[in-house]
Amino acid sequence: MVNASRWGLVPRNVALLVDPPRGNRPAVQPFTPEQARVFLDAVQGDRLEALYTVALSVDLRQGEALSLRWEDVNLEQRRLSVRYALQRIGGKLQLVEPKTAKSRRTLALPAFAVTALRAHKVRQLEERVRLGAHWRDTGFIFTSSVGTPLEARNVVRHFHAVQARIGIRPRRRFHDLRHSAASLLLAQGEDLRGIMELLGHSQISLTANLYAHVLDASKRQTADRMDALFGA
C-alpha cells in the first residue's frame, strides 16, 4: 500500500509517507563499581538481597528476574535459565514469553550470586516452615512474605528506599542494575558479543549503541596503554 501510494497508483495518504518519530530511551545510569559495592553491602541480610545480587550480576530485566523459579537455576552447576518474564496482565500476574528469541537464554552465575541464592533458599524455607498452611507454594525464587510472586512496583519502592538511605544520587531505576552489570563487564574487557548474549539483545548494534559511552572509555584506555608502550 505504501509503495503504491509513492508510485501514484492509488490516492496518496500523506501520513504514510512520514517516518514516525523515534521514542526517546531513558538515559542509562549504571552504578559505578564503588556504588555497586556499597549498595550490595547495604542489602546484606535483606529479603531481597539475592534478587538485587542476581539482577546486578547477570544482566536481567526486572520481569525476567521476578519470573525465576527454583527449577530455572542449578546452583551446583552455577547456571540460570531465563524462560519467561513476569507481567501484570488483566489485573493478574502472569508468566509471559520473553521479548525475543534471544531473550530466552542460559547464563553462568558468578560464585557470589550462587552464595546469595543459597542463603535466600534457606531463608525462604524458614519462612515457609514458620507460616505453615498460610504459605503459598508457587515455586518462585523471589516472593512476598507469604510465597506469592513479587509485585514489580513494591520492588521498585524498596530499591528506591535503599538508595535514599545510602545516599545514591541521582536515583537509579531497577533497570539500571542490568545496565550496571553490562557496563562493569565491558569496562573489565568483556567483548561486545558476549555482552549481547548476556543481555539477550537480538542485534549487536543495539548493544553497541546502548553502551557507546563505555566502549569509548575502553578505547581511550587502549590508546593510553599504547602510549605507555611507545610514547616518549
Domain membership of residue 86 (yes or no) is yes
Active site residue 52: no
Active site residue 160: no
Q: Exposed (0-12), middle (13-18) or buried (19+): which is 205, by Cβ within 10 Å? A: exposed
Q: Which domain holds residue 175?
A: 29-186
Residue 126 CA to residue 67 CA, distance in Å, equals: 21
Looking at residue 3, its pLDDT comes to: 56
Asked if residues 28 and 179 have their Cβ atoms less than 8 Å apart, the reply is yes
Q: Which of 52, 120, 158, 211 is catalytic?
A: 211
Phi, psi of 40, rounded to the nearest 5 degrees: -65, -35
Amino acid at 30: P
Q: Which of 79, 99, 102, 121 is catalytic?
A: 99
Q: Which of 52, 61, 105, 120 is catalytic?
A: 61
Give me the number of domains the chain comprises.
1
Domain membership of residue 223 (yes or no) is no
pTM: 0.74
Sorted by sequence, the CB contacts under 8 Å of residue 96 that are 6+ apart come out as: 63, 84, 85, 86, 87, 89
Domain membership of residue 230 (yes or no) is no
Active site residue 84: no
pLDDT tens for the chain, residues 1 to 232: 555 555 555 555 544 444 555 556 666 788 888 898 999 999 999 999 999 999 988 878 899 999 999 999 999 999 999 999 999 999 999 999 987 777 898 988 989 999 999 999 999 999 999 999 999 999 999 999 999 999 999 999 999 999 999 999 999 999 888 877 777 766 666 666 766 666 665 666 665 566 555 545 554 554 555 556 566 5
Domain membership of residue 129 (yes or no) is yes
Looking at residue 152, its pLDDT comes to: 96
Domain membership of residue 17 (yes or no) is no
Looking at residue 232, its pLDDT comes to: 54
Residue whose C-alpha is closest to residue 5's, from 121, 170, 13, 31: 13
Looking at residue 177, its pLDDT comes to: 87
Active site residue 99: yes
Domain membership of residue 38 (yes or no) is yes
Q: Which of 105, 158, 179, 201 is catalytic?
A: 201
Domain membership of residue 52 (yes or no) is yes
Residue 95 CA to residue 89 CA, distance in Å, equals: 9
Q: Which of 120, 172, 178, 179 is catalytic?
A: 178
Domain membership of residue 7 (yes or no) is no
| CATH code of the domain containing 52 | 1.10.443.10
Looking at residue 215, its pLDDT comes to: 44
